[in-house]
Amino acid sequence: MKSKWSKVLAVLLALMLLVAFVPGCAQEDEGGETQEPAEETPTTDVKAAMVTDVGGLGDKSFNDLSYEGLKRAEEELGVEIEVLESKEITDYESNIDQLATAGFSPIFAVGFLMTDTVAKVAPMYPDTNFGGVDEFFDPVPANVVGLNFKEHEGSYLAGVVAGMATVSDFDEKLNGDNVIGFVGGMDVPLIKKFEAGYIAGAKAVNPDVKVISLYAGNFTDQAKGKELGLSLIEQGADVIYAAAGAVGLGTIQACQEQGALFIGVDADQYLTVPGSGDVMLTSMMKRVDNAVFETVKAAVEGTFPGGEIQYFGLAEGGVDLAPFHDFEDAVPQDIKDAVEEARADIISGAITVPEAP
Amino acid sequence: MSDSREGLPAQRRWMTVLQKVGTPLVSAALAVLVGSIIIWASGYDAGAAFAALFKGSLGGPKQIGDTILRAIPLIFTGLAVGYGFRAGLFNIGAEGQLFLGGLAAAWLGVVLAGLPWIIVVPIMIIASALAGAAWAFIPAILKARIGAHEVITTMMFTYIGRYLVSWLVIGPLKAPGQIPQTVAIPPEAQLPRIQELFSAGTLEALPFLQLGRAHLGIVVAVLMAVLVWVILKYTTLGYENRAVGFNPWASETAGISVQWTTVKALCISGALAGLAGSVEVMGVHHRLFDQFSSGFGFTGIAVALLAKNHPIGVIPAALLFGALSAGAGTMQFEADVPQKIILIIQALVIFFVAAEEIVLWFVRRRQKEAMSHAG
């Protein structure tokens, strides 16, 4: 009898622990959402929302960045915001449906996996505007804008840094071989844009530099990324730029083991990949937050660019180079100046960056 | 787990049926109760959360359609896992078989473009079942011939299947464009939405037919559940399956080939899982891509557990999981409860189903003890 009650007690205790544990995780998700807009915030009746892909919030990538953009719109423009996370692909349509029915517009669908869904749902809600992050439509529905990025422009700046760094000696990992490397995810036009910009930038500041490009064939295989990184370093590369999603994480390891510098992609990877500071020279950031914010702003001002595919480049704040962080003091001023010069020239149109190598 | 109560008097039989139906209901109710305590303890309004959950899953024809939509693949995977369990096999790799089924459907749908749907759709459905069965065949042979445990081998084959599909959609089968996915299958290869079968006038007159995204796959799913039930209850195939699940040694002695039955059971289980892949491709996504399944093969294990491996019971069990999934979005939207809390409630359902087995085990042991004392 006694042992039976102790079992019951144990189960109860376990349940209590469960209950005590859950609030901690659950309330985290809420953070920020409940913020009251400050008093001086202008008011508008625009209600903007986003639907995450299955990666959800906390992915340190497109979903989080889009949410940043929405939060900025809430603070600066006074729009009401809502974010719905998707736990499975079937949720995409029902989440968008839900928000459209509740009068949200614009609604952002984050990630190319939602392209089909947006194309299908948009005509059902002609009075609602939709923004597709990293989505391309052909033809573009009149109430949809595709938000894309000029990755080649940001990569050009990364190329300028790499091209000059490889013949510089501000870090002991730099050798005199005048070789830099590129690791691509899949051999598709999108990634070719990164490669083309990178090569163009490097050759512009260092015409003799040798750029070796290798492709992993996917965006997930970290072991492959490491292997490619080691192979590049073997061939003399001392700065490697990876546009390859999670594959790049393996390349970072290769750089750390064999001593080379790394240029990150999409987010400021110094912040998103802990412990990578010793090799992370800079990152080429896709500013999804800016693209989302600008689109909400356009909606507030009544100029929502429906029916268009938009490309956010350096001029629009859609791509940019991250700070040098740990290398801030080491990087010579002439590299920093060259980056600023290239940036100005691209924005003014003096330089046109190629989209294919 | 298996039926061996055919000979009981009518009253006892009704009691067993009542017990079988009642306990999962009690489990679900307990899960909802503990779930609301968790939601409340997390600082949310549990009442509002469940009101929203109900509204989002059963609040109207469109919401009911969404519940059905999400239940369809789970009926197939639930049947798959349940059929294996009835032969004493744990097919944990339904997910991989599902991927192969989806692959077969997505490929054939494009290859057979131009043929009328009356030919294309049955071919796609049969082919995806064969693909799922083929994917289960090697683990089945390994189990039957050298005793390699099916939990390990079917799981390993899930990885192989998933990565095979991954590779195909970014490589040989990739549609033109940036996105790693296959070309969409033509309309005559798709399973239409139920509301598309009726004219606008009919839908206006009978609003309950406006089932939103629910597609004809539900008809296939229910027919398949009935078919599996008939096979298990009235055929030699099903009898051997149950006998081996109940006691392989006795079956062997009685002249049933345990090896051959094992192979058949795993292959049929794989075929059912393969069908889940094809209905998802034909009814929902109309193409194949890397993440087209949200772990339906694994959720199917839970569905089979809740249904106590009964083919007909799988239907309400899958509908319950479908409803939880469909209502989660509304719960997140209207009550601000994170959608992932629904996963906790799903886990609690499983927990209480399992807990009931534990309780029954204690009861039986006590009965045995009492009997041995009496003896």
- Number of C-beta neighbours around residue B18 at 10 A: 10
Most A CBs within 10 Å: which of B34, B296, B339, as the mutation test of the A interface? B339
3-class SS at A237?
strand
Average pLDDT over residues A243-271: 92
Is the predicted ipTM greater than 0.85, yes or no? no
Q: What is the pLDDT of residues B297-307, one digit of tens each?
A: 999 999 998 89
Within chain B, where are the H helices?
10-41, 46-58, 61-86, 94-111, 117-146, 150-170, 200-205, 217-234, 236-246, 248-253, 258-280, 296-306, 314-335, 341-374
Residue ranges of domains in chain A:
47-149, 152-285+320-348
How many Cα atoms occupy the beta-carbon half-sphere of A208 within 13 Å? 5
CATH of residue B115's domain is 1.10.3470
Q: Domain A47-149, CATH 2.60.40.420 — does that match? A: no
Q: Would you say residue B366 has pLDDT above 80?
A: no
B88: left (phi over 0), alpha (psi -120 to 50) or beta: left
Q: For position A13, what pLDDT does the model report?
A: 55
Residue B128 lies in a domain: yes
Q: Which residue of A has its CA nearest to B333?
A: A84
A356 touches chain B (CB under 8 A): no
Q: Residue B135 in contact with residue B97, Cβ under 8 Å?
A: yes
Task: Please state which architecture CATH assigns to domain A152-285+320-348.
Answer: 3-Layer(aba) Sandwich (3.40)
3-class SS at B237?
helix
Inter-chain touch B291–A54, beta carbons under 8 Å: yes
On average, the pLDDT of chain B sits at: 89
A235 touches chain B (CB under 8 A): no
Q: Do domains A47-149 and A152-285+320-348 have the same CATH topology?
A: yes
Q: What is the pTM of this model?
A: 0.79
Q: What is the pLDDT of residues B203-258, one digit of tens each?
A: 888 888 888 899 999 999 999 999 999 999 999 999 999 999 999 999 999 999 99
In angstroms, rounded to a whole number, what is the distance separating the alpha carbons of residues B158 and B174? 21
CA dist B244 to B4, B86, B249, B260, B275, Å?
12, 8, 8, 10, 25
Residue B7 lies in a domain: no
Could you tell me the residue range of the domain that residue B309 belongs to? 61-337
- Split into its structural domains, chain B has a count of 1
On average, the pLDDT of chain A sits at: 87
Q: Which residue of B has its CA nearest to A33?
A: B336
> Residue A159 is which amino acid?
G
Q: What is the pLDDT of residues B154-166, one digit of tens each?
A: 999 999 999 899 8
In angstroms, rounded to a whole number, what is the distance separating the alpha carbons of residues A338 and A324? 14
Using alpha carbons, select from B272, B270, B264 the residue that is nearest to residue B244.
B264
Q: For position A62, what pLDDT does the model report?
A: 82
Q: For position A235, what pLDDT does the model report?
A: 95
Q: Residue A354 in contact with residue A200, Cβ under 8 Å?
A: yes
A-chain CB neighbours of B294 within 8 Å are 54, 87-90
Using alpha carbons, select from A135, A126, A61 the residue that is nearest to residue A92.
A135
Residues 32-91 of A with CB under 8 A from B: 33, 54, 82, 84-91
- Residue by residue, DSSP assigns A269-323 as HHHHSTT-TTTEEEEEEE-HHHHHHHHHHHHHTT---TTEEEEE-TTTTSEEEPP
Q: For position B7, what pLDDT does the model report?
A: 53
* Range from A48-62, A130-144, B80-94 carrying the lowest mean pLDDT: A48-62
Average pLDDT over residues B108-125: 93
Q: Which residue of A has its CA nearest to B288?
A: A113
A-chain CB neighbours of B337 within 8 Å are 26
Q: For position A11, what pLDDT does the model report?
A: 58
3-class SS at B173?
coil
Count, residues in chain B: 375
Q: For position A4, what pLDDT does the model report?
A: 54
Q: What is the pLDDT of residues B26-76, one digit of tens each?
A: 888 888 889 889 989 988 888 899 999 999 999 999 999 999 999 999 999
